[in-house]
Structure 1
Amino acid sequence: MASWSNQRALWTYRYHKYIHIIGKYRSVVWKYLYLRWLKYKAADRPLVAIVLSEQMGDIIACEPVAREVRQRHPNAYIIWLVRKQYVELVEHHPDLDGYLIEKCPSERIYLLRTGIFDKVYNMHISHRKCKYCPEDPVNPTADQIGLTFDNYYHRGDLLYMFSQAAGLPAMTADPKMYIPESIRQRVAALRLQESPIVIHCQSSHIMRDWPAENWNRLVKWLLDTYPYPVIEIGLQPVVTEEHPNFRNLCGQLSLLETAEVIRNAHLFIGIDSGPAHMANANGANGIILLGQLFDFVDYLPYSGRYKRGEGITILNNYGHPCSELPYGWVQDAALQRLGQPKLV
């Protein structure tokens, strides 16, 4: 029985692998033809690519690269290569002429090899491979400065590191998010209570998370102590509190809708994740919970306001994972940010 189960899993994997690879080659041809058409349409304008296809926090943190590239190439046709799930983060940027959806890193290799782009700013570190494709993506600029997955957080924040991987000077600018009026109207239609405390409790990596019991305890204390409503955002809910001033929006918002909710927050409290970068880019005051991540102990992913310590409290019990961050530290930070509660 176990042997049949293993064989089934193997053939299922092979099926998805070969379907993916066939689709990749078709996609390369189609996108090459599309880029040729773009070059024809753009006439004498050079075609410039910015490459950072994932993750959410990385793309938000590195938004200033688009502004820098526009300054360097004022007349260029500039596009951002991005994975489908993150298109929202770049499609409204005023310094970009468009975006190109990347199917996988291997597809990117073939597109870059065609020489269709007049200039490429590749922010990816080498050797982040597709799970199905044999090609190994390499960024010679990142390799030249010795930037690897083992040391990148020792070098500085995400923008500082990845801008150098792209061959740009080390950047420290404040990231921005561009939220269209249509998104703001959609969030307004949710009729959320004003000045909420917005929390984000669960990241894509368990090493970044804080225990669910601590989040529930914190939310109960916030609701019992302050008049501010509490909103949980993210993909999966962690908080189980039932209260008229608590609202769970997990799994109900797009990326830019999430950013708009955070923009309107009185305070953001969260772990190291994409929404924390949204808070930084949208000017929200925040409390960020950090902890040891692999071999990275003393690290800070954020540039701009949060790096300067403006409107932010960073909590890190150095040498311990985020899960071991004392509850009292977070409650004390909230007291400092929200002020002493008024006695009734």
Structure 2
Amino acid sequence: MADWSRIQQLWTYRFHKYTHIIGKFWSAAIKYEQLRRLKQKLGSRQLVVIILSEQMGDIIACEPVAREVRRLHPDDHIIWMVRKPYAELVSHHPDLDGFLIEKCPGERVRLLRSGIFDKVYNMHISHRKCKYCLEDPINPISDGIGLNFDNYYDRGDLLYMFSQAAGLPAITADPKMYIPKSVQEKVQSLNLLPGPIVIHCQSSHIMRDWPAANWTKLVKWLLATYPYPIIEIGLTPTVTEEHPQFRNLCGQLSLLETAEVIRQARLFIGIDSGPAHMANAMETEGIILLGKLFDFVDYLPYSGRFKRGEGVTILNDYGHPCAELPYSWVQDAVQERLGQPKFV
């Protein structure tokens, strides 16, 4: 029975692998043809691509790259290559003419090798491969400045590093997000209580997280101490509190809807993740919980006002993971941001 299970797993993996590879070749061919036709329509205008296909926080942090590339190419056609789950982060940017969905890094390699783009600003570090494809993505510019996955957080914030990986001067601008009216209206229809405290408790990596028991304790204290509503955002809920002032919106919002909820908050409290970058871009006051991440101890992913220490409290018990961050530190930071409790 165990042997049959292993055989089944092997053939399931092979099925997914080969269907993915076939789909990659087909997808790359279709996109190449679409881009070729686009170039014919552009005439003398260049086709410029910005590449940073994931993750959420990286794309938000590196938004100023689009503005810089538009400054360098005022009349050219600029698109952003991005994975489908993150496309809405760039779809409304006023300095972009469009975006291109990336199926996987292997497809990206094939499109770059085709020479279809006149100018490439690739922010990816080398060797982040697709799990199915043989192609190994290489970025000679990031290699040339010695930027790799072992040292990138030691070199500066995400925007500072990745802009250089793209061959641009190190950029230090404040990131922005662009929320269309339709998204604002959708969030308005949720009838949220005004001036909430927004919390985000889980990231894509467990090493960034703070214990669920601490979040529950914090929410109970906030509800008992301050008159403000609390909203939890993210993919899956951490806090299971039954209270008229507490609302769970986990898994119910798009990325831009999440950003709009954060924009309306009086305070954002969260771990190092995409929503923390949203708070930075939306000019919302924040308390950010950091900790040791692999071998990175003293690091700060944020540019702009969070890097300048404006409107933010960064908590990091250096040398310890976020899970070991003392609860009292977070509570003290909240009191510093919100003032003394209004009632007990």
Q: Which TM-score tier does this pair reach, normalised by the shorter chain?
A: over 0.9
In structure 1, what is the equivalent of residue 17 of structure 2?
17
Tell me how far apart the structure 2 counterparts of residues 168 and 207 of structure 1 sit (CA, whole Å).
31
In structure 1, what is the equivalent of residue 213 of structure 2?
213
Task: Provide the alpha-carbon RMSD of the alignment.
Answer: 0.6
Residue 227 of structure 2 contacts residue 342 of structure 2 at CA under 8 Å; is this kept in 1? no
In structure 2, what is the equivalent of residue 123 of structure 1?
123
TM, length-normalised to structure 2 = 0.99
Task: Give the counterpart letter for 1:105 in structure 2.
Answer: P
In structure 1, what is the equivalent of residue 236 of structure 2?
236
Tell me how far apart the structure 1 counterparts of residues 146 and 11 of structure 2 sit (CA, whole Å).
39
Shift, 1:342, TM fit: 2.4
In structure 1, what is the equivalent of residue 308 of structure 2?
308
Q: Any gaps of 5 or more consecutive residues in structure 1?
A: none
Tell me how far apart the structure 1 counterparts of residues 157 and 175 of structure 2 sit (CA, whole Å).
12
- Say whether residues 1:62 and 2:99 are aligned partners: no
Tell me how far apart the structure 1 counterparts of residues 10 and 251 of structure 2 sit (CA, whole Å).
32
Shift, 1:3, TM fit: 1.1
In structure 2, what is the equivalent of residue 245 of structure 1?
245
Task: Give the counterpart letter for 1:292 in structure 2.
Answer: K
In structure 1, what is the equivalent of residue 76 of structure 2?
76
- Say whether residues 1:224 and 2:227 are aligned partners: no
- Say whether residues 1:88 and 2:88 are aligned partners: yes
Q: Determine what percentage of the aligned residue pairs are the same residue.
A: 77
Q: Deviations over 1:121-155 (max 9, x none)?
A: 00000000000001110000000000000000000
In structure 1, what is the equivalent of residue 39 of structure 2?
39
In structure 2, what is the equivalent of residue 332 of structure 1?
332
SS state at 2:184 partner: helix
SS state at 2:256 partner: helix
Q: Deviations over 1:150-170 (max 9, x none)?
A: 000000000000000000001
Shift, 1:37, TM fit: 1.1
Tell me how far apart the structure 1 counterparts of residues 45 and 193 of structure 2 sit (CA, whole Å).
48
Residue 225 of structure 2 contacts residue 343 of structure 2 at CA under 8 Å; is this kept in 1? no
Tell me how far apart the structure 1 counterparts of residues 199 and 339 of structure 2 sit (CA, whole Å).
18
SS state at 2:240 partner: coil
Tell me how far apart the structure 2 counterparts of residues 93 and 43 of structure 1 sit (CA, whole Å).
23
In structure 1, what is the equivalent of residue 192 of structure 2?
192
Tell me how far apart the structure 2 counterparts of residues 161 and 65 of structure 1 sit (CA, whole Å).
11
Residue 226 of structure 2 contacts residue 343 of structure 2 at CA under 8 Å; is this kept in 1? no
Task: Give the counterpart letter for 1:141 in structure 2.
Answer: I
Q: Deviations over 1:294-334 (max 9, x none)?
A: 00000000000100000000000000000000000000000
In structure 2, what is the equivalent of residue 155 of structure 1?
155
Q: Any gaps of 5 or more consecutive residues in structure 2?
A: none
Tell me how far apart the structure 1 counterparts of residues 88 and 343 of structure 2 sit (CA, whole Å).
44
Task: Give the counterpart letter for 1:140 in structure 2.
Answer: P
Task: Give the counterpart letter for 2:44 in structure 1.
Answer: D
Tell me how far apart the structure 1 counterparts of residues 29 and 282 of structure 2 sit (CA, whole Å).
38
In structure 2, what is the equivalent of residue 5 of structure 1?
5
